[in-house]
């Protein structure tokens, strides 16, 4: 019988270090997993060139009015959904700018939907429903590299001439789908054979963290290392906004609160109002003139 491609996948191989896993004590399991997890950052670093290329591709799409879509199944789909959900509060993006499509739909976020990842045709339907088009970027996430749902989505995106990314922990050249940028990381076999929510999931999370954070930074969504485009949707984020305003403008708490209120909660505008003595309308116009980049609007260096 001919071997299935999954039999070759690095994510399906047995890890020699954990062959006696069921005989180990709790502390031995903890030490083993910690030691294996320590291998992940080096694997991600090995893909740094591809990750940087993916960042630039996403930045170019955003600047042209396009969007970033993640597509995945199981853990991969949930990680994409998590990253997409964090972008609006952190970077002040519109909810549709970074989206995630998971096999099985929203229900699959909280429980496994058996067989959903095998239906390649569902991917194109889900993307059509969201209006995915040629100006958008599709980032397929598949730890094993073979998920039909993800590959179906990539095929659909390529049929529209949209740009594509592929993120995997199975760097086998013969098994990789076509994509403009492939981020393939060798994290080695999992402690629990085939459980890609472990090292592969950790590697994927690191890549997604880097991809959207670096893209948003390149778009001017921060000033220095401060998130000046955040949305103060809860008390913690409101306190953070006030702290940033005080740090950058030398204000006391009452002054910072007044500027933030006068700016309608828009931190960038509040900073310009305090630093440049502008009205809210003038501050917003200056930001628009400089494509929302605070450093350019201020015309100086980070404080």
Q: Residue 142 and residue 54: Cα distance in Å, rounded?
A: 16
pLDDT confidence of residue 163:
98
Given 23, 28, 56, 86, the catalytic residue: 86
Domains of the chain by residue range: 8-218, 235-298
Given 19, 56, 114, 117, the catalytic residue: 117
Do 5 and 146 contact (CB within 8 A), yes or no? Answer: yes
Nearest to 169 by CA among 197, 129, 133, 136: 197
Task: Decide if 114 is catalytic.
Answer: no
Q: Residue 210 and residue 55: Cα distance in Å, rounded?
A: 8
- Work out the burial of residue 113: count CB atoms within 10 Å of its CB; fewer than 13 is exposed, 13-18 middle, 19 or more buried: middle
Q: Residue 148 and residue 156: Cα distance in Å, rounded?
A: 12
Task: Decide if 86 is catalytic.
Answer: yes
pTM: 0.91
pLDDT confidence of residue 3:
63
* φ, ψ for residue 68, nearest 5 deg: -110, 125
Topology (CATH level 3) of domain 8-218: Rossmann fold (3.40.50)
pLDDT in single tens digits along all 303 residues of the chain: 556 777 778 888 999 999 999 999 999 999 999 999 999 999 999 999 999 999 999 999 999 999 999 999 999 999 999 999 999 989 989 999 999 999 999 888 888 887 889 899 999 999 999 999 999 999 999 999 989 999 999 999 999 999 999 999 998 877 789 999 999 999 999 999 999 999 999 999 999 999 999 999 999 999 999 999 887 778 998 999 999 999 999 999 999 999 999 999 999 999 999 999 999 999 999 999 999 999 999 985 444
**Under CATH, to which class is 235-298 assigned?**
mainly alpha
User: Which residues 6+ apart lie within 8 Å of 22 measured at CB?
Assistant: none
Do 208 and 140 contact (CB within 8 A), yes or no? Answer: no
Do 247 and 303 contact (CB within 8 A), yes or no? Answer: yes
pLDDT confidence of residue 2:
58
What are the beta bridge partners of residue 220? none
Do 274 and 251 contact (CB within 8 A), yes or no? Answer: yes
pLDDT confidence of residue 115:
84
């Amino acid at each position: 019988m001919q071997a299935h491609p999954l039999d070759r996948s690095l994510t399906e191989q047995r890890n020699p270090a954990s062959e006696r896993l069921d005989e180990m004590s709790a502390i031995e399991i903890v030490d083993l997993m910690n030691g294996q997890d320590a291998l992940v950052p080096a694997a991600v670093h090995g893909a740094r060139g591809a990750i940087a290329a993916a960042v630039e591709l996403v930045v170019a799409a955003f600047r042209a009015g396009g969007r970033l879509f993640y597509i995945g199944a199981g853990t991969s789909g949930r990680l994409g959904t998590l990253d997409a959900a964090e972008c609006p509060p952190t970077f002040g993006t519109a909810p549709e700018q970074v989206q995630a499509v998971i096999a099985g739909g929203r229900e699959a976020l909280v429980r496994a939907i058996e067989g959903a990842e095998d239906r390649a045709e569902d991917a194109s339907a889900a993307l059509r429903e969201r209006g995915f088009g040629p100006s958008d970027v599709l980032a397929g996430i598949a730890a094993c590299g073979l998920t039909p749902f993800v590959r179906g989505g990539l095929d659909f995106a390529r049929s529209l001439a949209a740009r594509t990314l592929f993120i995997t922990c199975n760097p086998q050249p013969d098994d990789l789908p076509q994509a403009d940028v492939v981020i393939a990381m060798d994290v080695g076999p999992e402690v629990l054979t085939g459980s890609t929510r472990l090292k592969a999931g950790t590697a994927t999370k690191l890549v997604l963290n880097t991809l959207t954070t670096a893209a948003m930074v390149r778009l001017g969504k921060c000033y220095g290392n401060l998130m000046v485009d955040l949305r103060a949707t809860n008390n913690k984020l409101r306190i953070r906004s006030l702290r940033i305003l005080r740090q950058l403008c030398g204000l006391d708490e009452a002054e910072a609160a007044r500027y933030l209120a006068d700016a309608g909660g828009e931190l960038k505008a509040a900073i310009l109002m305090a630093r440049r003595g502008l009205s809210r309308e003038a501050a917003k116009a200056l930001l628009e003139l400089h494509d929302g980049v605070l450093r350019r609007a201020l015309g100086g260096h980070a404080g």
